[in-house]
Structure 1
Amino acid sequence: MAETKKYSGSRTQDFIPVKEIRDGIVVLEDGSLRAILLASAINIALKSPDEQQAVIMQFQGFLNSIEFPVEIAVQSRRYDIKPYLLTLERRIEQQEEELLRLQTREYIEFIKWFNDSVNVMSKKFYVVVPYTGSAFSKAPDQNIFQQLFLGSKKKNFQEESAKFEEQRSQLEQRVAIVKGGLSRFGVRSEQLNTEQAIEVFYNMFNPGESHRNIPQLGQ
């Protein structure tokens, strides 16, 4: 019977410095925290020169007002029209008028042709807010009697949870400052929850697959 060889190469997780995502907060391997905000976009080209200048000045004032670094990231993906086409296909089945069914089929073919001819891209804008506190400490090596009678593991878990809550409170204050600053020049933002944050990392490290949807602002 042939022996099964175990893969000894690097795993994908080895290249991702994320320890866990807890309550929408990304915990890195060094113990620092990150909050991810999904932000709306402004088409500044459609604004008047005075409005453009006002937005730029507000953005400059926002950057000068914060005392911590932030990261602005843009994630671009080819727009997935499959859900929209499926919706149109269902409407064809529900249509009773032959003319409307024919027009809907022609519209579907036009959408397919247009999507193949032009790279229709969807963009999502994120603002990453960091907080770097002291790393979560690990429990020191203890003998069997300490583990049985002193409850060291439970105590260490409680201390780690308390430290996380303290650091999360500091991070949430920064998030509130960033959201308030963005709103001054018309940019709406919402913090991603745990599931949505996981989707961001999934889409980032699986660019060849269909873009898994993250709800738009206000949904």
Structure 2
Amino acid sequence: MFETILSYIIIAGLAVFLFKTRRKPPDKISELFSFRKIAPDGLIDLDGRRFRLVLEVDPINLALKSAGEQNAVWNAFRSAVASLKCNLTLLVQTQYLDLSEYIRQQKAFAESAPTEELQDTAERLVGFFRQKFEESAHRTRKYYIILRHDYTLERNPLISARRKKEEKENIELIARQELEDSRNILTAALSPVGLRITQLTRHEVLQMIYRTLCRQLANIQPIEKADYAEAFCVVSRSATPLIKELLGGEEDFSEEETEGESKKNSNKEALSTRNG
């Protein structure tokens, strides 16, 4: 009897172990898509008192460095990560190489070149890059460090209720301070070895999210043109103010409004005279 019960327990334990659904870890990248707000300096506010800061890293070619320089880079990176107070996510993103801004600058230079030789050189350069850009879609890599801060209130009986209330009121300030401290630690540790770190602004964060969600479209239509075409609007913007401005109806409307107000005032004066 005891052996039968023991065998049942072992079988049940094996079944639970084999068929147990492992919990999938949350995706640290897709959480950026559901942001509550993004500050002008790039601080991302997510639901649940979570804050993120995205840093872009300009890479270096380790293959061109000596063994001692490579060890120095890795040691600097390890010491910087070990010194951080918050968690981080390393993101390597493949994007289409966009040369449209460079081509536009060279085209503007060609139009305002002081000599014909410089103008001819700039035009040939524009034609070369435009042909290369249109023939094949070249790709480039972007390297990001996403600093994560998830606010959790400490359940410590030694902490007073007043201090806990102050922490709740200053959640964003505390998160900003911690994330900026981590950014400064990374910058101070990686800059001497040639790794330049730049904090993304609000516009740059939106561009990164846009390129992540719409990789094919981002190469053809920038985020500014997509926004102008109301690609992100649930309800289309009304064109009535624009039409009124083009037709010059705003002045007529103001004149009609003033005439209507004068008529109302005259009617009120007439009524007050009769009542008097």
TM-score over 0.5 for the pair: yes
Match of 1:88 in 2: 106
Task: Extract unaligned runs of 5+ from structure 1.
Answer: 1-12, 136-157, 214-219
Residue type matched to 1:87 in 2?
Q
Match of 2:183 in 1: 175
Match of 2:174 in 1: 166
Answer yes or no: is 1:35 the counterpart of 2:44. no
Cα gap change, 1:204/1:97 in structure 2, threshold over 3 Å: closer, same or farther? same
Cα gap change, 1:199/1:15 in structure 2, threshold over 3 Å: closer, same or farther? closer
- Please tell me whether the aligned partners of residues 32 and 134 of structure 1 are also in contact (alpha carbons under 8 angstroms): no
Cα gap change, 1:113/1:61 in structure 2, threshold over 3 Å: closer, same or farther? same
Q: State the number of aligned residues.
A: 179
CA distance in 1, matches of 2:93, 2:178: 27
Q: CA deviation at 1:129?
A: 0.8
- 1:125 alignment partner, SS class: strand
Match of 2:194 in 1: 186
CA distance in 2, matches of 1:73, 1:183: 19
Cα gap change, 1:174/1:92 in structure 2, threshold over 3 Å: closer, same or farther? closer
Query: Which structure is higher in helix share?
Result: 2
Match of 2:76 in 1: 58
- Please tell me whether the aligned partners of residues 95 and 141 of structure 2 are also in contact (alpha carbons under 8 angstroms): yes
Cα gap change, 1:117/1:56 in structure 2, threshold over 3 Å: closer, same or farther? farther
- 1:189 alignment partner, SS class: strand
Cα gap change, 1:63/1:94 in structure 2, threshold over 3 Å: closer, same or farther? closer
- 1:134 alignment partner, SS class: coil
The sequence identity of aligned pairs, in percent, is 22
Answer yes or no: is 1:131 the counterpart of 2:156. no
Alpha-carbon RMSD across the aligned residues, in angstroms, is 3.3
- Please tell me whether the aligned partners of residues 59 and 185 of structure 1 are also in contact (alpha carbons under 8 angstroms): no
TM-score computed with the length of structure 2 as normaliser: 0.53
Task: Extract unaligned runs of 5+ from structure 2.
Answer: 1-29, 154-165, 225-276
Between structure 1 and structure 2, the one with the greater Rg is 2
- 2:69 alignment partner, SS class: helix
- Please tell me whether the aligned partners of residues 85 and 182 of structure 2 are also in contact (alpha carbons under 8 angstroms): no
